[in-house]
Amino acid sequence: MSVEHVLTTCPYCGTGCNFFLQVVDGRLTSVVPCKTDEISLGRLCIKGYNAHVFVQHADRLKYPMIREGEQLKKASWDQALDKIVGELEAIKEKHGPDSIAILASAKCTNEENYLFQKLARAVIGTNNVDHCARLCHASTVTGLLHSFGSGAMTNTIPEFDNADCILVTGSNTLEAHPIIGSRMLRAKEKGAKIIVVDPRDTPLSRISYLFLSQRPGTDIAWINGMLKVIIDEGLVNEEFVKTRTAAFEELKEAVRGYAPEKVEQTTGIPKEKLIEAARVYAKADKAMLAYAMGITQHSNGTDIVKGLANLAMVTGHIGKESTGVNPLRGQCNVQGACDSGGLPNLFPGYQRVDDEAVRTKFEKAWGVNLPAKPGLTLTRAMNEAATGKLKAMVIFGENVMISDPDLNHVEEAVKKLEFLAVSDIFLTETAQLADVVLPAACYAEKDGTFTNTDRALRMVRKAVDAPGEARADWVIACDLGKKFGSSGFGFSSPAEIMAEMATVTPIFGGMSYEKIDSKVVRWPCPAKDHPGTRVLHTKKFTRGLGLFAPVQHAPPAEVVSEEYPFILTTGRNLFQYHTGTMTRRSPKLEREAPEPYVEINKGDAKRLGIGDGERVMVSSRRGAITLKARVTERIVQGTVFIPFHYAEAAANKLTNAALDPISNIPEFKVCAAKVAKA
Amino acid sequence: MVNDLGKKLARLAFEERGADFLLVMREEHGNVAPAMVSKGEDVGVVRLEVPYQLVTILENIYPWISKGKIAVITRRCDEKALAELAKRKYVDDKRIIKIGLACTEEQIERCRCEDPVPSHVDVGEPHAGVKGDELSARLAKMSQKDRLAFWVDQYKKCNKCFGCTLTCPVCFCDDDCVLEERTFVAEPSIPPGLSFHMVRSYHMIDKCIECGECERACPAEIPLLTMRKLLAKDMKEVFKFAPGDEKTVSPLNTTLEGELMEDECNER
Amino acid sequence: MAEFNPTILAFCCNWCSYAGADLAGVGRLQMPPNIHVIRVMCSASVKPEYVLKAISGGVDGVLVLGCHIGDCHYMTGNHRTAKRMPLVQKVLKEVGIDERRLRLDWVSASEGEKFQKVVTEFVGEIKNLGPNPMRGVKW
Amino acid sequence: MARIGVFICHCGHNIAATVNVEKVVEFAKTLPDVVIADHNLYSCSEEGLGSIRKSIEKNKLDRIVVAACTPRTHEPLFRKTCEMAGVNKYLFEFVNIREHCSWIHTKEPDPATEKAKKLIAMGVAKAGLLEPQKETESSVIPTAVVIGGGLTGLTAAASLVAQGIDTHLVETSGRLGGILGDIEIIGPEFSRSKELLDQLVSELKGSSHAKIHLDTKVTAVSGFIGNFEVTIESKGKSEKVPAGAIILATGAKEFVPTGEYGYGSIPGVITQLEFERRLAKGDHPKRVAFIQCVGSRQPGREYCSRVCCNASLKNALRIVEAEPSSRVSIIHRDIMSYGTASERLYREASDKGVVFLRYGLERPANVTRKQKGLVVEVYDETIDENIDIDADLVVLATPMVSREDARDVGKLLKVPLDKYGFFLEAHVKLRPVEFATDGVFICGSARWPSSVSECIGQGLAAAAKASIPIRRGKVVVEAITCWADTDKCAACGSCVIACPYEAIEIVEDEDRRYAKVNEAQCKGCGTCVASCPNDAMQQRGFTSRQLSSMIDALIKNAMEET
């Protein structure tokens, strides 16, 4: 009889709550909140409380499989791994290393992602490594890198408690980041003014001090509008602008045309509200700015992010306690996957692959020559696969067949690949198309670290054994590395991987398992004796001076038309998570939100004669799905919302793969659609 | 390494009272964790100031512990919780060894606890309870309208984590809670609206032992304990009943015979 | 503004109060048309959850009618009702909803007049209380 | 998805004169899952039923809603119609828009019409969730137990035995006959009780089907119709008797005055029953005053015992007939001598010189002892005078009251009593000798003070009723019983405590514990349903989802309207 409570990190959103997995004789029985955890304070959301349920689900993949015609047949690990290595070597031989791409994973640990990119760069010899950050915060990385020199939360989650003003935009925080949301609620109780800018009336907006509801795709307009008000009303933090930033004049010039009246026409936000919001934000002593997909997932996402950066710098709301710009990362380790170099243009720690010095450092460390040319982004890779330029893909724990835009296009692309290997915990829609499927261990079955959204390294600890023959992805990566004949994969534990990572990654320089086992340490942590960093850009910005970026409003790639009169926007709901592979196997979560639905405004519904709960067909230029209508007042007229979790009515069949030119993030948040009774 | 408190508890549980298991809180990875140990040397550095709801944890694991006696750190409220569980045969009283913990003044303050001293104190200094709850007093002064406004504002923050039910020691249907269904809670998403909270209030009215775990677990920091206390008071007034005694039966399921209300009900 | 026309839900037990309501009908006893009766076998089967759900949903008043104590078709069913409903009222009261929006009363199969009286009184009382405040609440 | 048909009845003018039926039909058509809505002049007429049946077949309906009168009278009829059309009768939902709408809002046609719409919306919502039910059958033990060896019990037992049904007669005392055993002559026809009793007793003793248990009491009753187990105890020995039906004939007893009119302190002041015994011994006093309503029709015991007046009239006549010179007076508040035979007694008595005086509750008579006998001081309301009556004997006509063991017996059998401790039948008119608890029957003075003829009539009636299940050999339970959703049940036991019929137990299988309802024992009250915290307890035809859907429908339609 053994009962254990294993402290580990939640596998869902990027908040990085710690909790205990309760294990009775090897059986996961429940999740117990960790009351002393600095981030969660012993509170969890419904997903956290159910994070143990899918782990020991009967559907888990238990052994490797190799495709034989239509079927996936059980195989030994050696057969499967040899098959992968063989296929990839042949394709590399024939078409060169850049005909192969590896998808790292925001659900895997830092150590694993470090190995994935090492595998791509040092073994296969391509920078074609990317992951789903491309679909969520790529524009944050590019945008904030440009403005500040670093693309992460400038503050920590606990700091929300003490803000006087929290401007939340494009984030349904109470549903998508419930425990960060709870921090905002604490702040509100303490008297903080919460301003929400969102096309949807979210649970947070309903308790906010100010709610600005803009038309989707008009973000730069309201941001510049606020900037103009701040400048015109002399609310600029002159001191900060003078000493800490550059190119303010350009900005002034850029926002000249954004008078509140005009902004009202573009965005639909009443000018009084816009002015009030600008004043409240600018005058606050400690103002936190928080945003998520609603900002990033646009064909001009990078510009919108730069706009928010402008807002923070003009008012000097950055680089202090409870004061800064905070992109809320949506997956347990999406921050870490970026930190660990799961990006086509960056080595671990955001070091550019096209930087000679950096590359030489890595070549020395890894003892191989490395490609200088930045690789393909996930979204570009799909296009290249469609055109046949990309031949093979190895995907670790991602489900592109649900998560990526314009699924029909994705399916076509994936099917065109000569070879596809997928490592995952369930037979996902993507794995079903693979030539080789590898059974992976999930978070509860391995050690490692996640970097949560506030840059803290969170320990993931093994609670139970993986089912059947399933292996941790870091083990799989090592096995592959070895089979390719590389010497750089002789790791016997994640701790060793972290140790190597630290040597080549300055921001992780002082990280070690000994150190983070009992302490919350946030990067940058350059040296062994360094305590980690809570607030970024305190004295100076990572890039030196903060750089104002003059950005202009541009209409979304796809605008409404006669035929497609609605703006379709997509997102999450509280109970499901991403492609549902985990949540939809958790009865309590599935019961709360069992089926796909489209939120449509009461007025629109009445006009179309659609009753609450009736089935409707929603279609775009790319496809059509039928699902239940949820008639509500919580969404503006002319806009419809569909959560993207549901395979049976995948919102991404409709979404537009129009890409932001700089970050290549697709425009999930805006496309033209039509709604009709099914 | 085992600290002195750990040694003391181990002696109490294993040597003096013949327990096979001990359920405590101890330091792990710089945090405080609930732990179930079966040997004195495994007890570790025990820390009792963090209010983990051990009875809930016990309730979760109990079905898998087919035999042996389990010693558990019990505050006064935990005693009552165990009584409510034993009453419903969820645990066998004879298999539970209670190690009485007297709560600290801070803790009593935080729980606005009126009855903080366990029947037998093994650890901690007994302190008197506090009378009343500041918020209850404030609510009592409010107009009906303001009271409703207050609770609606509070409940608007609810995002349905079910922490209040999952961490509650006397909330025993959490495998399949009716609040997860649409039968009585109409709202498809969050916040779940008033019926969610009123139904739970009603379900708790003859069970709640005021440990305050729901309030501590609530990410929205809704003053759930205050609502429980208000209704506990009402329950006492109407039926002279308070949960926490293994011998009493909830008045909700019994007849009127020989009860205060009988006459009043006879002719209305 | 138009006169407030409350929506009221009534649970009547099959043996006494529903029969009493029938009798009121047979006797053509006139009463305000705000009451909507749900027939149950015994008042003891009225889940408090129904009352709480109805009030949360904006129903202005709920009437629970059973047999007189001692006359219950099921011996002591109504004893339970008599003990549950007062606590449901407390739940309403504490959250800030007037407990008079829930009324428990006893109407026998022969008490058509009493049914009329109870209904008329209750509708009057609810009219005085005004609309259920939950109607206005936007979650 | 359900295919619901809604049929709205005009009931001639009864509904249509107030409710705009056509409008309601149009509204009903818009309700979810409704494939047809129609109306009839009289739905319950052959023609109406026929058209419903045709519509069910034509439109392949699987849920039927009739909006008409009250289910308490017409539900069986429409259920039958559904069955004839091949639809399970439990897929029928009745909406009452006559008694509960048109008849009580006659002056408000528009609001009444709106209300009818809402009621129908509620009915349709429920109907959509109705499920077909199968009625359960169980076998019946061909044995009856009759509790009480008085006239009523003897009559019932004899009748059962005559039908060849094994019958146990349980009598607490050592002799049969009950109160009648103390009475020599029975009114109004002055027959001898002995003949009647001997007749019945010999019928029983002479039959192999009868088993008489004297000095025996019932100590426990378990089970349900068809399968009871009655534990009887005699001189410390207890025996378990399996039975299919139980007849309760425990009778009542005479109220013994507590000092009224000097009873107990003044010799010569006795009760009617004590007087009967004297008469039986052949002692016939000359001067007798009867005082009626002693201890009845007064605060605390408001009822009229109904048998006392006839007893006094009978005994008054016996005295004057034995000795015409006797002086008999009956001091009453009202004479309750209903029925032709008793009426005749009254006339005879007054013809033969029995004096009737009327007193009022507020001014009762006063009895005192003088040397030459008793003096009754009466204020006669009719002549507005105080009158003194000399008497050798004052007979107090006291009411019959319930036996002190009635409540315990009630608990044993799980049957209700009224506030006077008499047993409550299921329905005064519809089920006069039955209890709500199936298989248990009530007759005689246990139910209400009854005359000899009433006792016999009810004894026979109860026997006839009790023989039905025994003769059929099986019983059918209406499918409104409760069940536990074992997946949801947390085995907290609330329902076990709440169930008035002890029909629920917590069972254990493998690693799970959950509640289980013995549906044959369940009476479908639903008390357990409301006691269940997580909605695992459900009642057929009244599930929480069904009733909640009605509430939702009301909210939806009411809130949209305002």
Q: How many CB atoms lie within 10 A of CB D169?
A: 28
The full DSSP string for A431-469 is: GGG-SEEEEB--GGGS-EEEE-TTSEEEEE---SPPSTT
Chain B residues in contact with chain A using a Cβ-Cβ cutoff of 8 Å: 21, 28-36, 38, 50-52, 57, 60-61, 64-66, 68, 153, 156-157, 159-163, 166-167, 180-181, 188-191, 216-221
What is the predicted pLDDT for the residue at B263?
A: 54
Residues of chain A with CATH 3.40.50.740: 65-132+332-457+469-512
**Cα gap D117→D553, rounded to integer Å:** 11
For chain B, the domains span 4-111, 134-249
Residues A674/A566, Cβ–Cβ less than 8 Å: yes
Chains in touch with B (≥3 Cβ pairs < 8 A): A, C, D
Interface test with B, best of D417, D495, D501, D535 (most B CBs within 10 A): D535
Among residues A557, A677, A664, the alpha carbon closest in space to that of A627 is found at: A677
Residues in chain C closer than 8 A to A633 (CB atoms): 138
- What are the backbone dihedrals phi and psi of residue A203, each rounded to the nearest 5 degrees, phi first? -50, -35
ω before C48 within 30° of 0 (cis)? no
CB within 8 Å: B163 and A33: yes
CA distance A589 to A577: 9
**A46/B29 touch (CB, cutoff 8 Å), yes or no:** no
Interface test with D, best of B176, B194, B250, B257 (most D CBs within 10 A): B176
Mention every residue, 6+ apart, whose C-beta is less than 8 A from residue D234. Answer: D213, D214, D215, D216, D217
Cβ-based neighbours of A655, under 8 Å, separated by 6 or more: A405, A406, A568, A570, A620, A622, A644, A666, A667, A668, A671
Tell me how far apart the alpha carbons of residues D484 and D490 are, in angstroms, rounded to a whole number: 10
pLDDT tens digits for range A82-101: 999 999 999 999 999 999 99
With beta carbons under 8 A apart, name residues in chain A contacting B29.
Answer: 7, 459, 517-518
CB D490 within 8 A of CB B173: yes
Q: What pLDDT score does B258 carry?
A: 65
Region B126-132 average pLDDT: 93
Which of chain A's residues have a Cβ under 8 Å away from the Cβ of B181?
Answer: 591
pLDDT tier at B268 (50, 70, 90 boundaries)?
very low
CB contact under 8 A, C41 and D526: yes
Q: Which residues contact D183 (CB under 8 A, 6 or more apart)?
A: D193, D273, D276, D280
Contact list in D for residue C42 (CB cut-off 8 A) is 525-527
The CA-CA-CA angle for residues D208, D214, D217, to 5°, reads: 115
Element (H, E) at D394: strand D393-396
pLDDT-based confidence at B253, cuts 50/70/90? confident
Assigned superfamily of A154-328: Dimethylsulfoxide Reductase, domain 2 (3.40.228.10)
Q: What is the pTM of this model?
A: 0.87
Residue of C nearest to B189 (CA): C139
Smallest CA–CA distance from C137 into chain A, residue: A206
- What residues in chain A have their Cβ under 8 A from chain C's Cβ atoms? 206, 633
D315-362 pLDDT, tens digit per residue, is 999 999 988 999 999 999 999 998 888 999 999 999 999 999 999 999
CA distance A130 to A113: 10
Minimum distance, in Å, between the CA of residue A189 and any CA atom of chain C: 19
List the one residue out of D269, D264, D211 whose CA is nearest residue D242: D211
Structural domains of chain D, ranges and CATH numbers in brackets: 4-133 (3.40.50), 143-251+403-475 (3.50.50.60), 256-400 (3.50.50.60), 482-539 (3.30.70.3270)
pLDDT along chain A (678 residues), means of 10: 96 97 96 97 97 96 96 97 97 97 97 98 97 93 94 96 97 95 96 96 95 95 98 97 96 96 96 98 97 95 97 97 96 95 96 96 96 95 95 95 92 96 96 97 98 97 98 98 96 97 97 95 96 96 95 93 95 90 92 94 93 93 95 91 94 93 93 93
Minimal CA separation from B239 to chain C, in Å: 9
What span, in angstroms and rounded, lies between the C-alpha atoms of B159 and A180? 12
* Smallest Cα distance from D370 to chain C, Å: 47
Subunit contact A44:B28, Cβ cutoff 8 A: no
Question: For C27-71, where are the alpha helices, taking DSSP H only?
Answer: 48-56
CB pairs under 8 A between C and D: 153
Q: Average the pLDDT over B74-103 and give the result.
A: 96
Q: Say whether pLDDT at B264 is over 80.
A: no
Q: Which of residues 68-107 of C touch B (CB under 8 A)?
A: 68-70, 76, 79-80, 82-84, 86-88, 90-98, 104-106
Comparing alpha-carbon positions, the chain B residue that sits nearest to C83 is B252
**Nearest chain C Cα distance for residue D288, angstroms:** 41
In B, which residues are within 8 Å of C106 by CB distance? 265, 268
ipTM score for this prediction: 0.93
> What count of CB pairs under 8 Å joins A to C?
3
Residue extent(s) of CATH 3.40.228.10 domains in chain A: 154-328
Written as one string, the DSSP assignment of B11-43 is: IIIIIIS--SEEEEEEEETTEEEEEEESSGGG-
Q: Determine, for residues D491 and B89 on separate chains, whether the beta-carbon distance falls below 8 Å.
A: yes
Nearest to D159 by CA among D146, D178, D175, D174: D146
Q: Chains with 3 or more CB pairs closer than 8 angstroms to D?
A: B, C
Tell me the average pLDDT of chain B.
93
Of the candidates B60, B161, B221, which has its C-beta nearest A29's C-beta?
Answer: B60
Encoded tokens for A372: 């200088």
- Retrieve residue D488's tokens: 């949801």
Amino acid residing at D129: L
Minimum distance, in Å, between the CA of residue C70 and any CA atom of chain D: 6
DSSP string over B49-81: SS---HHHHHHHHGGG--SS-EEEEE-HHHHHH
CATH fold of A566-677 reads Barwin-like endoglucanases (2.40.40)
Identify the pLDDT of residue B267: 45
Question: Is pLDDT above 90 for B187?
Answer: no
d(CA D376, CA D388): 6
Fold that domain A65-132+332-457+469-512 belongs to in CATH: Rossmann fold (3.40.50)
| Rounded distance between C-alpha atoms, residue D562 and residue C6, angstroms | 10
What does the alpha-carbon distance between residue A397 and residue A340 come to, in Å, rounded to a whole number?
16
> What digits encode the pLDDT tens for the residues A476-521?
999 999 999 999 999 999 999 999 999 999 999 999 999 999 999 9
Pick D104's closest partner by Cβ from C9, C25, C50.
C25
- The predicted pLDDT at position D372 comes to 82
Task: Report which DSSP code applies to D298.
Answer: B
Chain C: touching chains (3 or more CB pairs < 8 Å):
A, B, D
Residues of A in contact with C139 (CB under 8 A): 206
Q: Does B162 touch chain D (CB under 8 A)?
A: no
| D524 contacts in chain C (CB < 8 Å) | 41
* Cα–Cα nearest to A424, from A381, A391, A470: A470
- Chain D contacts of C36, Cβ < 8 Å? 115, 118-119, 122, 554
Q: pLDDT digit of tens for each residue in chain C (139 aa)?
A: 578 999 999 999 998 899 999 989 999 999 999 999 999 999 999 999 999 999 999 999 999 999 988 778 888 899 999 999 999 999 999 999 999 999 999 998 888 999 999 999 999 999 999 999 999 898 8
Q: Taking a contact as any Cβ pair under 8 Å apart, which residues of chain B between 199 and 238 contact chain D?
A: 203
Chains interfacing with A (3 or more CB pairs < 8 Å): B, C
Nearest alpha carbon to residue D41 among D18, D3, D62, D11: D11
Q: Which domains does chain C have, with CATH numbers?
A: 8-132 (3.40.50)
Q: A643: cis peptide before it, omega within 30°?
A: no
Kindly report the length of chain C: 139
Q: How far apart are CA D145 and CA D230, in angstroms?
A: 8
**Residue A548 confidence (pLDDT):** 97
- Top mean pLDDT of B252-261, D95-104, D404-413 is at D95-104
| Closest CA relative to residue B242, chosen from B77, B67, B8 | B77
The pair of structure tokens assigned to A214 is: 């803009």
For D498, nearest residue in chain B (alpha carbons): B253
CA distance A126 to chain B (A): 39
Determine whether the interchain pair B266/C105 forms a contact, defined as Cβ–Cβ distance below 8 Å: no
